[in-house]
Amino acid sequence: MTTNNAAVTASVKSASNDQDQEKVEWNAGVPIPIIASGITVIGAFGAAILMHVLANRREAVARIASAATEFRAAFAEELDILESNQKIQWLDKFLSVAYEAKHKAAISIFSHFVPEVSRVAFKTACEQYHSGHQKHGAGFSYESNFVEYITENPEENMRHIAAQRIRALLAFAKTK
């Protein structure tokens, strides 16, 4: 009888090995370790792409923050003087010199970092700062920048208006 038991045991082991081999073949003929390594490679590639996208986003945010800081710095001195009690003999000349020396370039550079949906408002704020909102004659704008600041209004009122317009420009340079 031991011979029969040994034959049955060998037959069961043989059937068990056949089933294991069938399971491996059932996975489309590809062993499980190869499938797992393929998933690992795809996961690593996906992680690398995600890290690249996040790094680019972080760099873009840093460039915008740097441009906003430089933009605010270009107007800081004039805004401090306008909001202080320091005497300014000719407000239009004071603003015109600062515009040509710093503000014009700062506006030009920073305008590239203003979101597209805000560009029209930014351009309007820039024009209002240097050209004013008043019209001359039959609807023509002033040819010269800062002429509005030498109108009949008292200087203190015009200082306040100039400071207000600079603050309106600087509102576009707020970082989140």
Q: What is the pLDDT of residues 60-111, one digit of tens each?
A: 888 888 899 999 999 999 999 999 878 888 888 889 899 999 999 999 999 9
Please tell me the distance from the alpha carbon of residue 129 to that of residue 157, in angstroms, as a whole number: 15
Q: Identify whether 1 is part of a domain.
A: no
Closest Cα partner for 130 from 157, 102, 155?
A: 102
Please tell me the distance from the alpha carbon of residue 157 to that of residue 11, in angstroms, as a whole number: 105
Q: How many independent structural domains does the chain possess?
A: 1
pTM for this prediction: 0.65
- The reported pLDDT for the residue numbered 12 is 47
On whether the CB atoms of residues 107 and 127 are closer than 8 A, the answer is no
On whether the CB atoms of residues 173 and 72 are closer than 8 A, the answer is yes
**Domain that includes residue 27, residue range:** 15-173
Q: What is the three-class DSSP state of 8?
A: helix
Q: Give 94's DSSP letter.
A: H
Q: Identify whether 8 is part of a domain.
A: no
